[in-house]
Chains A and B, each alone.
Chain A
Amino acid sequence: MRITAPMTITTKTPMMSDRFFITLSALAAALALAALLMVNILSGAPTSFLILTMVGATAYIALARLGDYDQVIPCDHIQSGEAAVGSFVLFVTSVFLTATPILPALVFAALLVYQLFLRAVISTDESELAVAGALAQGIIVAAVWFMITGGVPAAARMPEAILLGHQAVLPGPWPLAAAALSVAALVLCLSWALRPELGAWAQGPSFHGGAAGSRACVAAGLAITRALLATIALLFAGWTCGIVISLRKLSRGTRAAPLVFLFLLIFQQAVIMTARMAGVWYAAGCVLLFSYALFLLHIKKRTHRYDRHQKP
């Protein structure tokens, strides 16, 4: 027998002050973004390049959204080493291969393999994941260094491409950008529409209620989607995002979502501006610094997962 008695259902509705604050912040952020875009355009950055980096940022937002449901790899693609692995593949393939159409496919394949490695080998603890990512970055930097000192001709614009995106090596960037944007938008829509199912799935088998097979299918789907989005973000926006930890903390609630996207675009344009004014290496240093600083703040502020008796 079902309960039929009426009951007051309380749902979260933002207070007027929240709405006012979000609207005001969005206006301020839009103005700041417009100003940064203007500076970048005036400094000679091609408009097409700036638009393509925004496509990458959209994919990155979708990647951050997936992080809410993916308990295996919840931290940023810089800390988890995905950006390093993708960049290494791009570096190697750009040096040895001339057929650019297969570059995105190679990066995707490498990131998919790395996803499997992260899910099968690395602990789910964020700090251990970050240590593994830092190690991956170290190994890759060493490999690239040996290649360069060993006489492999590095492309002159390679550092810039790794930081700011590889749009130049993309075959037909606009159709590809449209496809990438569609994928990112589709992931965002699906993750929103299926948030109860994904939320239940993310809590583990004891709380999901689904069959083991369906759990494995969702896990595989997440790994593929994450690899795809990381590939898109890397190809279109390079390392210019890298602040997913703080994004995830801000992204609670639908009203805040556009604001978070604006903040990401501001960060990205600021990185591009730094690269154009101070050089790519300074900008790269800033991205890494910001990314790890936010990560450490997040880790330090966070209450331990559960108390010692309740560890999974």
Chain B
Amino acid sequence: MSYFLKFLPTLLLFFSGIVGIVVVNDREHNSSSTKSAWSSISDLYIIFGIFVAFLAGFAIYLPDRAFGVFGEQGAAFEVLLICGVIGSLFYLSFDDQIQRKRETATLILLATAGGALLFVSVNFIELAIALETLALSVYGLCAANLLSARSSEAGIKYFFLGSFASLLIFYGMALAYGAYGSIGLLELGFRIESFPPSLLGKIGFGLLFLGILAKFGAAPMHYWVADAYQGAPVSAFIFMLTVVKVTVFGALIIILRTIAPNYQDLSDSLFWIVSVCSILLGNLLALRQRSLVRMLAFSSIAQAGYLLAGLIALENDLRGVIYYLAFYLFAVLGVVFSFAAAGLKEDQIISLSKLRRSSPLLAVFMTFSFLGLAGLPPALAGLFGKFFIFYPLIAKGWYGLVALALLGSGIGCYYYLRAVAAVYFLPIIDNDLTEGDRIKDMSDNNNSQQVEIAPYSVVAESANPYCQPLTIASLAVCLILLGLGFAPEAFWRIFS
């Protein structure tokens, strides 16, 4: 029974996905013409209903807390997973770029089923199934915008590089099995402890890590990130930044904990290199981006670097890393929701200046999230997140890594603040300017036009009919971010 209970959330998600596929199709094309916000939600009512069932199953299951290698702290990961799914499903109902919403919702649920499976997996097979279920659905999600060539390109690109990463993972698993003769994580852990590290094991676990890091979007394996994120529709983008990050990060922790005693040197040196590469490369590449989504993609590489740095000094206490993960998830949701609620036609950073006029409230939310990502108060969560990541590193003597990471965050401050400057300081640009004019305008910001503060309204008449629910959502996200910054203890207390 308890074995069944363990898989309950996964199974519920799976069935809800299947039901989604079976029941869809009949009203899909008729309903796409209606544009109102709430009708498209009612279009998704089945899926939401089953999602609620999933939550109920999770609630039954949570007291057991048999999260594989995670122990008690696995619950925190699952909660973050749920936050991510809620975020992307919520946005899905407003996403204009996606034509077949129910199928997409099915994909999201199936992907999440993979994620939920990962946190209870006890052997390599379950781990591989979880990662593949997640990955295959996300390839589809990336290409969900049927009318855009870019979206298909994103899907294909992600598929090729992702499947290559999967190959690395499988091969690594096979080699590890060859070295130790077991695929059960617990058994493997015992054997690793009792035998000295072998070359085969080193290669195996090295390949395994490289594969998972490639899926995580860490730096030397980051080539797919920008294109996949930019081409994908926004709800897939949200999903990749939240659920996929949380899940793959969980996979990293599982492997790390299993091999911890004897392969610490291997994982430490690997993560050292990868995290420094990610932080520096991600921040440097993000500096020159003109598109907001691309900038967020490169910044996600840098943030992945901070998370990986947190894994180096990992002991039993995952709270610092979880805190950072939660902070990053909500900060990104804040940026994307406020951007989406504004209903801007293009994702150029310069065009963010319209936000100031169309809706000051959203401009505030976006600024708050950006300041958090840059690690500046008043969004204290970013500052504390970095502090909680770096404190154990300092205590263990990784001074060089901390110095490089901090300098990287100094670089990162530039592009986040440039985006804030675009929101508030640039003159508002009208649509009929050409690209060249705009660049000229940005480069010589000798403002003959003064900044005008617009005719007044808080939630404005924006082009986006879904402005209001999305504004409420970004308000909620920013409040969570604020709370996370002012009371980190309260956040930890939930899971202890």
User: Are these two chains actual partners, yes or no?
Assistant: no
Q: Which residues of B come within 8 Å of A, CB atoms?
A: none
Interface residues of A (CB under 8 A from B): none
